[in-house]
Amino acid sequence: MNRRDFLRNIAIGGALGSIASRVSSAELVTSTETFVAVGSKLVFISDLHLNADPDASWMLDHIGDLADFLNSLRIRSDVSELVILGDMLDDWVRPTEDVPFDFEEILSASHNQPVVEALQDICEEGSIKVTYVTGNHDLLSFEPENKEIINWYFPNMIVTSNDPGLGAFQMDEVLWAEHGHRYTLFNAPDIWSHSGSHLPLGYFISRLVASKSITDDQIYTLPDIMNSYFRAMPTALNPRGAIEKPYGLGPANEVGVREFLNLMEGFPAATSRRNSGRRRYPRDPWDGGIIDDDLIVLFFQVMALWAGKRPWDRFIMDNKDNFLSDPRVRSIAQWYDVIFSKWPSRQNIVSNEMALWNELGYMDATANLLFAMP
């Protein structure tokens, strides 16, 4: 069945549902049995972010709820498949000064066991097919040793993760689902900036955020931080007094915006290799200006300063993803400084501007673009 026929069937199904709403309950049961097959439902979940450190786990307070939900699937007769659509594991959220966790440490952590055991029961029972698709916080799941660990913990689970850290779920050339990180500027796999590696700039930003979270004893998330930064940027580059809300960005923490403004006040020159010697800062991106590499470099440097890190401070990597030494903050800024301008030659699906907007959570345009593809 092609996509057009699928949509036509959805329309017919909607019409039948409208008719069914006007018939008796007995007739409705008959219609349901006719048009809905037993065990035909697919359940999608994502972003579990299981972390080996309970203090850094975004899911910690809901581990029990998630385990209960997974256990409830086993007693249902209408579910044929469970699809975990990325970020099941999280080896990104780790302070810069600590050794990164591996997948074994995450899956063996005691606080994660209710979810791990519930998933194991589903996989071992076999009545529900389980498919795991990689995300960005677990994009190294394509590595053979990581796939082996996942398959050891979850027998019969289908692991859809391919080099350089991408995967997608599809069915009958009609249904297509993926995590979405390949369309985002900071989180798409990056095999260009550091030779032999796959981790993008977003990995290092996540570790800066983790360091700040530990220092402040408060959980921060990257979307919240980016929201604050890009609201502060227009005021810092083109001061007009009050903080404004550019292009409908969602609510941001006022304190966070002010903090970024203070950090950018008198900040040292932030210039990419592409713009070296041309100008100190990019033009106001929200006021008829442009977004360019300088803006990205400045963002990373301000993030590092916000997290209490200086240019000479290091990210402890422990040889992760072919980082054979522990890079300094300034090295990361230099290696990834042209990801915006080089995006069109490296990615051929969305523009670099759209990739940045996707980071802020505005992925409707990308979804519509993918839906229109053959």
Each residue's pLDDT tens digit, 70-128: 999 999 999 999 999 999 999 999 999 999 999 999 999 999 999 999 999 999 999 99
| Architecture in CATH of 38-179 | 4-Layer Sandwich (3.60)
Percent of the chain with pLDDT over 90: 55
For residue 56, pLDDT over 60 is answered with yes
Predicted local distance difference test score (pLDDT) of residue 271:
52
**Band (259; pLDDT cuts 50, 70, 90):** low
For residue 200, pLDDT over 90 is answered with yes
User: Nearest Cα to 339, choosing from 202, 150, 230, 170?
Assistant: 202
Cα distances from 343 to residues 137, 184, 201, 270, 293, in angstroms, run 20, 10, 13, 20, 11
For residue 157, pLDDT over 90 is answered with yes
Percent of the chain with pLDDT over 70: 72
Q: What is the pTM of this model?
A: 0.80
For residue 360, pLDDT over 90 is answered with no
Higher pLDDT, 231 or 189: 189
What is the SS3 assignment for the chain?
A: CCHHHHHHHHHHHHHHHHHHCCCCHHHHHHHHHHHCCCCCEEEEECCCCECCCHHHCCCHHHHHHHHHHHHHHHCCCCEEEEEEECCCECCCCCCCCCCCCCHHHHHHCHHHHHHHHHHHHHHHHCCCEEEEECCCCCHHHHCHHHHHHHHHHCCCCEEECECCCECCEEECCCEEECCCHHHCCCCCCCCCCCCCCCCCHHHHHHHHHHHHHHHHCCCCCHHHHHHHHHHHHHHHHCCCCCCCCHHHCCCCCHHHHHHHHHHHCCCCCCCCCCCCCCCCCCCCCCCCCCCCHHHHHHHHHHHHHHCCCCCCCECCCCCHHHCCCCCEHHHHHHHCCCHHHHHHHHCCCCCHHHHHHHHCCCCHHHHHHHHHCC
**Band (18; pLDDT cuts 50, 70, 90):** very low
d(CA 268, CA 228): 20
Q: What is the mean pLDDT of residues 27-51?
A: 63
Higher pLDDT, 291 or 369: 369
Predicted local distance difference test score (pLDDT) of residue 289:
44
CB atoms under 10 Å from CB of 6, counted, come to 14
Strands of the sheet with 41-45, listed across from one edge: 41-45, 79-85, 129-133, 158-160
For residue 226, pLDDT over 90 is answered with no
**Band (370; pLDDT cuts 50, 70, 90):** confident
Predicted local distance difference test score (pLDDT) of residue 16:
31
Largest pairwise CA distance in the chain: 77
Predicted local distance difference test score (pLDDT) of residue 225:
78
Q: What is the mean pLDDT of residues 192-199?
A: 96
- What are the sequence ranges of the domains in the chain? 1-36, 38-179, 201-372
What is the SS3 assignment for 320-373?
A: HHHCCCCCEHHHHHHHCCCHHHHHHHHCCCCCHHHHHHHHCCCCHHHHHHHHHC
